[in-house]
Amino acid sequence: MTTPTAKLEFQHLTKRFGDLVALQDISATIADGEFVSIVGPSGCGKTTLLRIIAGLERATEGRALLAGREISGVGYERGFVFQSDSLLPWRTVLSNVLIGIEIREGRRPEADVQRARELIQMVGLGGFENYYPRQLSGGMRQRANLARALAINPEILLMDEPFSALDAQTREVMQSELTRIWQQGRKTVLFITHQIDEAVFLSDRVIVLARRPGRVREVVDVDLPRPRALAVKRTPGAIAYVDHIWRLIEREVIESVEEEKRR
Amino acid sequence: MGTGQDQRDASRTLSAISVVSGFALWELVGRYMGTGLFLAVPTQIAAATVELWRRGELLNHITVSFSEFGLGYVIAVLLGVPIGLLLAVSSRARATLGPWVDGLYATPVIAIAPLVILWFGIGIWSKVFVVASVVIFPMIINTEAGVRSTPQHLLEAIRCFGASRMQLFVKVMLPSALPFVFAGMRLGIGRGLIGVVVGELFGARAGLGRLIAESAETFNMANLFVGVIFLAAAGILLTALVRRIEQRIVHWT
Ligand SMILES: Nc1ncnc2c1ncn2[C@@H]1O[C@H](COP(=O)(O)OP(=O)(O)O)[C@@H](O)[C@H]1O
Ligand SMILES: [Mg+2]
């Protein structure tokens, strides 16, 4: 069943919280080296899906396979970047980046420290190795979170709305930084966002989810040339993709906003 | 730089003026109304301090009280922190010890000081026990609260790296509980000093509390205030010391 190049695969994944069907029959495949985004209105189950991949949550039905093996718990092969700032405030940037290595190895091999320094350089934090999180801006913290996720050299990088807490300009800079970094390593990435233009700009494919219950509405192949500069966002091709995806979920986004207003 | 430093200097000056004029007022009011049997003015207290020091009594009182406080406090911290950690991570420990801890924390344990004197005698160990038993509860409760208040998103983020329970405990819960532990230590200073004084009131050979009790019986107000002032100074200095250590260790807050 599993194609040899599939890095991550969902097979008829369903997740229920009591009566609430958060995810229903999600099937999708993400190939090795692919950058895939998931977009959908608030409450469609994006975070739940990611938590299942993380091993923090169990699917009610169906399964998720990572490199052909069923996911049954947390593990080192997955690197996470969360929306909320999850750096440890008592550790420096370097020390935060090394936490995954420490957990896996029980110590800090010199080679890994060297690699961590290179990663910090790569995400644009060179010179800030000994800074504490509180001394960094939101954008810099997310750079550190990215370096931390990459430091364990994961099979796949999972990002849950990592830029949503940033201001618009910083977000754009981080988007272009992420494509640059991805271009270098060609890590498989699953990126969750509710920003359609962000998904289009970053991805090879965009999985569009519908809500209540959360299910796959459409998978959009983004056929834009790489490497991409931010200017790509303003080309007719990109705008057409954004438009198309927006139309798929427009009604539901409005619904979800109305619902949040009522709460 | 400029304004911050200036402001700090200005507020320091103001504090100094406030303290000095407070003492001056005390002196004036005391002298004007006549100190009589129930008050002593700062100059009399200073003279009494010199006299007690010269006779070697003051140093003896300070040494005794400080030993009682120091031993009791250290015992309370060394026992309280692990007990707090245990209560936070084990629901069975919580169920077993929790009612006792909560109950005894609310009880004025100090009320059993006379009993403690009967158990341990009038030497320093009865006071060590009293101090330890009043300091241990804020230590236990703060440590437990500190571990429990570890942000969930930090725990999950580190768990995603495959961390074991032990690794989560050491790398996330312990450091994030530290500020609470220090808050407990600061709370414990005031409680511990009260423990020393009350313990000594009920029976002691020496100590600042004993000095206060003795002086009250003989209406020696100057000596009584010497005891009070040295206790106050101890509270201020110890709190500053713990705060200094706290800033060194919990530098990220
Ligand atoms: N632990 C949980 N218990 C009950 N309901 C939950 C839980 N986690 C998420 N949900 C519900 O599942 C739905 C999907 O949530 P989530 O995955 O956070 O959506 P998204 O990330 O797309 O905004 C929401 O309706 C949410 O209220
Ligand atoms: Mg979410």
Amino acid at B59: L
Res B40: pLDDT: 85
Q: Best of A20, A58, A217 to mutate for ligand 1, by most ligand atoms within 8 A of CB?
A: A20
Nearest CA to ligand 1 atom 24: A43
The residues, any chain, with a CB within 8 Å of residue A118's CB and separated by 6 or more, are none
Which residues in chain B are closer than 8 Å to A133, comparing Cβ atoms? Answer: 252
% of chain B with per-residue pLDDT over 70: 98
Lowest mean pLDDT among A19-28, A115-124, B35-44, B127-136: B35-44
- Do residues B84 and B188 share a domain? yes
Which residues in chain B are closer than 8 Å to A80, comparing Cβ atoms? Answer: 157, 160
In ligand 1, which atom is closest to the CA atom of A51? 17
% of chain B with per-residue pLDDT over 90: 75
Residue B51 within a domain: no
Residue B176 within a domain: yes
Residue B185 within a domain: yes
Which residues in chain B are closer than 8 Å to A54, comparing Cβ atoms? Answer: 160
Res B3: pLDDT: 67
Which residues in chain B are closer than 8 Å to A89, comparing Cβ atoms? Answer: 252-253
Residue B238 within a domain: yes
- Do residues B9 and B88 share a domain? no
Res B108: pLDDT: 83
Report the alpha-carbon distance of residue B58 to residue A262 in Å, rounded. Answer: 71
Q: Reply yes or no on whether the pLDDT at B44 is more than 60.
A: yes
Q: Best of A39, A48, A212 to mutate for ligand 1, by most ligand atoms within 8 A of CB?
A: A48
Neighbour tally for B72: CB within 10 Å: 27
B70–A contact, CB cutoff 8 A: no
A75–B contact, CB cutoff 8 A: yes
For residue B152, the domain's CATH number is 1.10.3720.10
Res B2: pLDDT: 55
Res B36: pLDDT: 67
A103–B contact, CB cutoff 8 A: yes
What's the Cα-to-Cα distance from A43 to each of A19, A49, A51, A158, A256, rounded to whole Å? Answer: 15, 11, 14, 18, 7
Q: Reply yes or no on whether the pLDDT at B151 is more than 90.
A: yes
Mean pLDDT for the stretch of residues A2-24 = 87
Per-residue pLDDT reduced to its tens digit, A174-183? 999 999 989 9
Average pLDDT, chain A: 91
Q: pTM of this prediction?
A: 0.85
Res A4: pLDDT: 54
Q: Of B114, B116, B93, B112, which Cα lies nearest the Cα of B104?
A: B112
Nearest CA to ligand 1 atom 6: A17
A101–B contact, CB cutoff 8 A: no
Residue B86 within a domain: yes
Range of the domain at B7: 1-39
Average pLDDT, chain B: 92
- Do residues B71 and B19 share a domain? no
- Do residues B234 and B125 share a domain? yes
- Do residues B28 and B105 share a domain? no
- Do residues B177 and B204 share a domain? yes
- Do residues B15 and B108 share a domain? no
Residues with CB under 5 Å of ion ligand 2 are A 46-47
Per-residue pLDDT reduced to its tens digit, A20-76? 999 999 999 999 999 999 999 888 999 999 999 988 899 999 999 998 889 988 888
Res B203: pLDDT: 86
Res B180: pLDDT: 96
Min Cα–Cα distance to chain B from A190, Å: 16
Residue B49 within a domain: no
- Do residues B166 and B234 share a domain? yes
The verdict on a CB contact (< 8 Å) between B252 and A84 is no
- Do residues B239 and B178 share a domain? yes
Min Cα–Cα distance to chain B from A205, Å: 25
Res A212: pLDDT: 84
Residue B48 within a domain: no
Q: Of A49, A67, A252, which Cα lies nearest the Cα of A159?
A: A49
What's the Cα-to-Cα distance from B101 to each of B51, B73, B94, B96, B104, rounded to whole Å? Answer: 45, 17, 9, 10, 5
DSSP string, chain B: -HHHHHHHHHHHHHHHHHHHHHHHHHHHHHHHH--TTT---HHHHHHHHHHHHHTTHHHHHHHHHHHHHHHHHHHHHHHHHHHHHHHHH-HHHHHHHHHHHHHHHHS-GGGGHHHHHHHH-SSHHHHHHHHHHHHHHHHHHHHHHHHHTS-HHHHHHHHTTT--HHHHIIIIIHHHHHHHHHHHHHHHHHHHHHHHHHHHHHS-SSSHHHHHHHHHHTT-HHHHHHHHHHHHHHHHHHHHHHHHHHHHHSTT-
Q: Reply yes or no on whether the pLDDT at B146 is more than 60.
A: yes
Q: Two tokens at A204?
A: 């090879």
Q: Reply yes or no on whether the pLDDT at B155 is more than 70.
A: yes
- Do residues B79 and B198 share a domain? yes
Q: Reply yes or no on whether the pLDDT at A240 is more than 70.
A: yes
B171–A contact, CB cutoff 8 A: yes
Which residues in chain B are closer than 8 Å to A155, comparing Cβ atoms? Answer: none
Per-residue pLDDT reduced to its tens digit, A90-132? 999 999 999 999 999 988 999 999 999 999 998 999 999 999 9
Mean pLDDT for the stretch of residues A221-234 = 92
In ligand 1, which atom is closest to the CA atom of A50? 17
Res B105: pLDDT: 85
Query: Which of the ligands is closest to the CA of residue A38?
Result: 1
How many cross-chain Cβ pairs, A to B, lie less than 8 Å apart? 55
Mean pLDDT for the stretch of residues A71-96 = 90
- Do residues B182 and B97 share a domain? yes
Mean pLDDT for the stretch of residues B52-58 = 94
Chain A, 126 to 155: residues with Cβ < 8 Å from chain B are 132-134, 152
% of chain A with per-residue pLDDT over 90: 73
Min Cα–Cα distance to chain A from B216, Å: 50
- Do residues B142 and B208 share a domain? yes
B161–A contact, CB cutoff 8 A: yes
A56–B contact, CB cutoff 8 A: yes
- The domain tally of chain B equals 2
Q: Long-range contacts for A166-172 (Cβ within 8 Å, ≥24 apart)? A: A166/A138, A166/A139, A166/A142, A167/A138, A170/A137, A170/A138, A170/A139, A171/A198, A172/A230
Pick B3 or A158 by higher pLDDT. A158
Per-residue pLDDT reduced to its tens digit, B61-95? 999 999 999 999 999 999 999 999 999 999 999 99
Which residues in chain B are closer than 8 Å to A152, comparing Cβ atoms? Answer: 161
CB A209 within 8 Å of CB A40: yes
A105–B contact, CB cutoff 8 A: no
Res B109: pLDDT: 79
Whether A56 is in the pocket of ligand 1, judged by its Cβ within 6 Å, is no
Min Cα–Cα distance to chain A from B82, Å: 21
Chain B, 136 to 155: residues with Cβ < 8 Å from chain A are 153-154
Q: Two tokens at A29?
A: 């495949």
Per-residue pLDDT reduced to its tens digit, B191-235? 999 999 999 999 889 999 999 999 999 989 999 999 999 999 999
Whether A45 is in the pocket of ligand 1, judged by its Cβ within 6 Å, is yes
| pLDDT grade for A257, boundaries at 50, 70 and 90 | confident
Whether A47 is in the pocket of ligand 1, judged by its Cβ within 6 Å, is yes
Residue B46 within a domain: no
